[in-house]
Amino acid sequence: MRSTFKILFYINRQKIKKNGKCPIMGRITIDGKVVQYSAKEEIEPKFWNPKEGCCSGKGNECRRINLRLDELKREIGLSYQKDIERSGYVTADGIKNTIQGIGTNEVTLLKEFDLMKEEIKNGIGITHAQKTYYRYGNAYNVIRDFLKYKYGVDDVEFSRINKQFMEDYHFYLLTVRNFSTYSIQNYVRFLKHTIERAVNKEIIYRNPVRRFYADGRKSSRRWIPREDLNAILAKPHPVKNVNKVRNLFIFSVFTGLAYADIYNLKWSDIRTDKSGYKWIYKERTKTTTECHIPLLDIPLFIIENFKGKKNTDKVFDFFCYGTMNKHLTTLQEFYQFKTPLTFHQGRHSWATTICLSNGIPIETLSRTMGHRSIKTTQIYAEVTNMKMDEDMKLLETRIGSKYQLPGAEKKTEELLEFEKNNTEFRKLKLEEAI
């Protein structure tokens, strides 16, 4: 139901000053609730029109006062509209405080975001990881750049954030910054987190973009094809530190562990079962879901090379993520790969090149990758041409002669004889294959 809203100006005739003028007062009425305030103007009673609520004189002073009263009306109307859009709730006292400058230092988006960053920084190692602080720092910079690009401002009030604002931000991330779908969803999530925080702190009374969801271009999981993986396995890099990153990347390919999981891998995470096989039993850093990974010969060999090089409980000496990416770029150039090489491709390659392409069921794969839901694993289940060819050959072998169409057996024999003797037919098939 819409609020009843009225604005009225009058003079207080009971407080006539020595100069013969009376103070001009304002009255705001919302749903029967009345508040009064001083307009900080005064006028002689003979120049006041009580019916119109304005000055009736024609002099410069009367015109100035009327302009001031019109300005106050606009301020009150804007304040009313802003409160309605922001929270759906408005009070006469709230509008009075606004026009009188009480509480008008509205908290802005980047100021609140900056405060949240500082809290995260203070909680590093307790409630947040170091990389979380860096991610929010990047998100802060992206929002700052967006505000300058789209609106030409350094900051924005929370009351101006609505669905259109989010649409503009999403379009900026998609087109101007050319981010991937995953990155877009993360940057939108960081912004929504800040808005929800403002709601919890009662800076605003409701989240206007709570139901906004970011979509993006369709993305696929990138993995290392078998021929590229063989090239990496066959040729070490001559530089020691770069080759160390190569070994860690290979370890990721043959275990499916992400950067953070390998970084935090401890000797206590490696166990031997009753049959003598070694396994990694570890909670994933990202989801805290336990994954069970068999240690094949190649990752075991890599572990032995790293063993005993550092007096800690961690299995590997490690680089920071930036140094890791720098060396991966060097490896990309060394092996002459056309596409960029990223560490997380190792995890994707475990799913596709190592497991799915070799017939491992997706349920087993999900357990090794530590996914909470098999739906997440299905994202990795990209069907490669190699996998499809192997599956079709396996189907042909299993079906064999189980099914037969009457008359088809003789025709098949004739066709085979034709293919054997007719070189022109064989040439045609070869051309089709090429």
Examine the domain organization and report whether 372 and 241 are in the same domain.
yes
Q: Where does a domain end: 200, 216, 250?
A: 200
Examine the domain organization and report whether 377 and 427 are in the same domain.
no
State CA 132 to chain mean position distance: 12
Model confidence pLDDT, tens digit, residues 350-398: 888 788 777 778 888 887 877 777 777 776 665 555 556 656 666 667 6
Q: Where does a domain end: 144, 166, 200?
A: 200
Predicted confidence (pLDDT) at residue 427 exceeds the cutoff of 70: no
- E strands present in 44-187: 48-49, 54-55
Phi, psi angle pair for 271, to nearest 5°: -130, 160
- Tallying the residues shown for the chain, one arrives at 434
Q: pLDDT class for 310, splitting at 50, 70, 90?
A: low
Model confidence pLDDT, tens digit, residues 276-293: 888 988 887 777 778 888
Tokens in use for 112?
Answer: 């609140």
CATH for 244: 1.10.443.10
The answer to whether position 146 is within a domain reads yes
Examine the domain organization and report whether 304 and 383 are in the same domain.
yes
Examine the domain organization and report whether 332 and 235 are in the same domain.
yes
Examine the domain organization and report whether 143 and 171 are in the same domain.
yes
Examine the domain organization and report whether 267 and 327 are in the same domain.
yes
Domain of residue 433 covers: 407-434
Angle at 378 between CA 186 and CA 281, to 5 degrees: 85
DSSP conformation letters of 306-339: HTTSSSSSBS-----HHHHHHHHHHHHHHHT-SS
Q: What is the pLDDT of residue 333?
A: 92
The answer to whether position 369 is within a domain reads yes
b/e for 256-275, b at 16 or more Cβ within 10 A?
bbbbebbbbbeeebbeeeee
At 58, is the secondary structure helix, strand, or coil?
coil
What is the count of structural domains for the chain?
A: 4
Cα-only R_g, the chain: 35
The answer to whether position 211 is within a domain reads no
Predicted confidence (pLDDT) at residue 104 exceeds the cutoff of 50: no
Q: Where does a domain end: 99, 122, 152?
A: 99
The answer to whether position 219 is within a domain reads no
| Position 20, amino acid | G
Examine the domain organization and report whether 18 and 82 are in the same domain.
yes
Predicted confidence (pLDDT) at residue 426 exceeds the cutoff of 50: no
Examine the domain organization and report whether 376 and 235 are in the same domain.
yes
Examine the domain organization and report whether 167 and 306 are in the same domain.
no
| Position 99, amino acid | I
Examine the domain organization and report whether 55 and 116 are in the same domain.
no
